[in-house]
């Protein structure tokens, strides 16, 4: 690239690893597939186990326990709340990639889900975004016309911000369309001064509640009538055929406390299949909007100079939401009183559903479990990067990378040096991620060398990885409540626990874990989800 590149970072919310066609799925995603195949597809890209922690890592290059989102603020315990790293918003210990890029002359725009602060004082415009249209919380109805707008858990007029003020929504608003349109508006309105841009498009789809246009839901009618186990087999076959997973891979068995497909009656199956149809329609709509955005960049002459990164913020969402203590009976009662979840109405603005752990594990296979878990199904995500001039375009990468690598990568491409320990007179934390640039250019064969360990923690679920070896601690009922050990190079499904066979290796990884806790300030509190 002859000039500093533009950046377009697109984050999907709870998208499964194999949902896209270019990653083995059956959902129609031609625009994303074209970008993915043209770029570098990652098979070992990792995030945090849930949304706001990942977004903190993405925008700061450091661990979320340092950046202020040590846990989901919605479920922070009394012992965590207010402690360093658990402020519930991006704290002053970190500087964002947007603050640094804006200082260096970039135009910075955001449209979509923020989830990094619920007040105007912690909204995107305070963290380096020149223009921003943001959904502040972690979830909301996708339609403005949803029932009882202004009632429920939060006031409707405190959900969305336009720069430094709260705003309402137009009656025809649908999140995926609205977020994309706003970002296109920002790109159109920017000064024609030749300055590069950083654009952050953060969808809130396909996060629950599952809601989509009727005509798109109809497009997928009947496609999932065989149930999640059959879909899981098809997705695995698709991954193998595309070279995204080895033919001899051993997938982790499905783990769920909900009914198996064979145990459901006809009505239960119909409802379950319909939720997956709506989910597919939401992913389809993301793709359609990406097509609109790419066409706009091409028409404006910006596409060739734009580095595009696409990823999900965590693994597919499989939690039975009624089990989450913070929502629990309050949510279930509210849904029963204000929504219509009859079969023919599922997916419309006045319905409120999710698809559950079995459909989620069809999308995370061969990995273990799903979102909120530090098993691979919760933290290994779909991701690809495309940009003119990179040596590895059109390839598939098996190299380990993380969301923390994004900030140092963008800074290096922009020619911006991270300030290290101080910025604008305050102490800040340096990045923990590694720049992907040497790897993208073919100058290095790995991103992370084996002398550095990477840790994860959420809700008392823990993991530490060095090279291909990973130690995992999952409390019951999803794990045995002790450290397990896996060689991910041979066992990506985490099916063969080598803790007894390799005690010295496990002990070394536990030492790495203790160092990670000390460095990042992890405060462990188990949360049942």
Residues annotated as catalytic are 51, 115
Return d(Cα 297, Cα 148) in angstroms, integer: 38
Residue 347: beta bridge partners?
none
Bond prior to 203 in cis (omega within 30° of 0): no
Question: Cβ distance 107 to 195 under 8 Å?
Answer: yes
Closest CA to 75 of 460, 399, 452, 446: 460
H helix intervals, 258-355:
266-299, 328-338
CA distances from 245 to 72, 236, 424, 446 (A): 31, 8, 46, 19
Structure tokens at 360: 């989620």
Return d(Cα 104, Cα 417) in angstroms, integer: 10
Half-sphere exposure (CA, 13 Å, Cβ side) for 439? 22
Pairing of strands 165-167, 160-162: antiparallel
143: DSSP letter: B
Closest CA to 239 of 26, 393, 47, 29: 26
Closest CA to 474 of 465, 462, 486, 464: 462
Return d(Cα 206, Cα 279) in angstroms, integer: 6
Residue 234: beta bridge partners?
none
Task: Spell out the residues 6+ positions from residue 65 whose beta carbon is closer than 8 angstroms to its own.
Answer: 85, 86, 457, 520, 521, 522
Can you give the length of the chain in residues?
529
Question: Cβ distance 401 to 44 under 8 Å?
Answer: yes
Return d(Cα 386, Cα 65) in angstroms, integer: 30
User: What kind and span of H or E run contains 458?
Assistant: strand 453-458
């Amino acid at each position: 690239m002859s000039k500093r590149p533009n950046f377009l970072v697109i984050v999907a919310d709870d998208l499964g690893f194999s949902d896209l066609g270019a990653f083995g799925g059956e959902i129609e995603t031609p625009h994303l597939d074209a970008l993915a195949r043209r770029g570098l597809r990652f098979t070992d890209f990792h995030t945090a186990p849930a949304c706001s922690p990942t977004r903190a890592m993405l925008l700061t290059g450091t661990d979320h326990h340092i950046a202020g989102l040590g846990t989901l603020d919605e479920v922070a315990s009394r012992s965590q709340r207010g402690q360093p790293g658990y402020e519930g918003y991006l704290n002053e210990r970190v500087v964002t990639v947007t603050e640094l890029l804006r200082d260096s002359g970039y135009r910075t725009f955001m449209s979509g889900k923020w989830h990094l602060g619920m007040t105007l004082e912690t909204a995107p415009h305070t963290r380096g975004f020149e223009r921003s249209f943001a959904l502040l919380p972690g979830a909301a109805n996708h339609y403005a016309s949803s029932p009882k707008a202004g009632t429920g858990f939060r006031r409707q007029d405190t959900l969305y911000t336009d720069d430094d003020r709260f705003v309402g929504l137009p009656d025809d608003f649908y999140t995926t369309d609205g977020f994309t349109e706003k970002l296109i508006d920002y790109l159109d309105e920017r000064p024609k001064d030749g300055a590069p841009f950083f654009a952050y498009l953060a969808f809130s789809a396909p996060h629950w509640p599952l809601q989509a246009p009727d005509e798109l839901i109809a497009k997928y009618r009947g496609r999932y009538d065989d149930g999640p186990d059959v879909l899981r087999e098809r997705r695995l076959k698709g991954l193998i055929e595309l070279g995204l997973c080895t033919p001899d891979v051993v997938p982790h068995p499905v783990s769920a406390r909900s009914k198996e497909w064979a145990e459901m009656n006809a009505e239960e199956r119909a409802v379950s299949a319909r939720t997956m149809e709506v989910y597919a329609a939401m992913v389809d709509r993301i793709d359609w909007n990406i097509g609109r955005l790419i066409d706009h960049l091409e028409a404006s002459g910006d596409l060739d100079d734009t580095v595009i990164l696409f990823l999900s913020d965590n693994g597919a969402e499989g939690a039975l939401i009624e089990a989450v203590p913070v929502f629990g009976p309050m949510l279930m009662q509210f849904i029963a009183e204000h929504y219509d979840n009859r079969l023919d109405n599922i997916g419309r603005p006045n319905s409120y559903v999710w698809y559950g752990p079995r459909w989620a594990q069809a999308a995370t296979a061969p990995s273990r479990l799903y979102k909120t878990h530090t098993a691979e199904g919760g933290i290994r995500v779909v991701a690809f990067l495309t940009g003119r001039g990179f040596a590895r375009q059109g390839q598939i990468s098996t190299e380990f990378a993380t969301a923390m690598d994004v900030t140092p990568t963008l800074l290096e491409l922009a020619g911006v040096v991270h300030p290290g320990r101080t910025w604008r007179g305050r102490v800040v934390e340096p990045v923990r991620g590694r720049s992907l640039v040497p790897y993208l250019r073919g100058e290095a064969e790995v991103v992370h060398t084996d002398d550095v360990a990477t840790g994860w923690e959420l809700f008392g679920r823990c993991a530490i990885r060095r090279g291909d070896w990973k130690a995992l601690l999952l409390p019951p009922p999803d794990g045995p409540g002790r450290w397990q050990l896996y060689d991910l190079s041979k066992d990506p499904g985490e099916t063969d626990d080598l803790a007894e066979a390799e005690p010295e290796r496990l002990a070394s990884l536990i030492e790495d874990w203790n160092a990670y806790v000390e460095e990042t300030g992890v405060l462990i509190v188990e949360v049942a989800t």
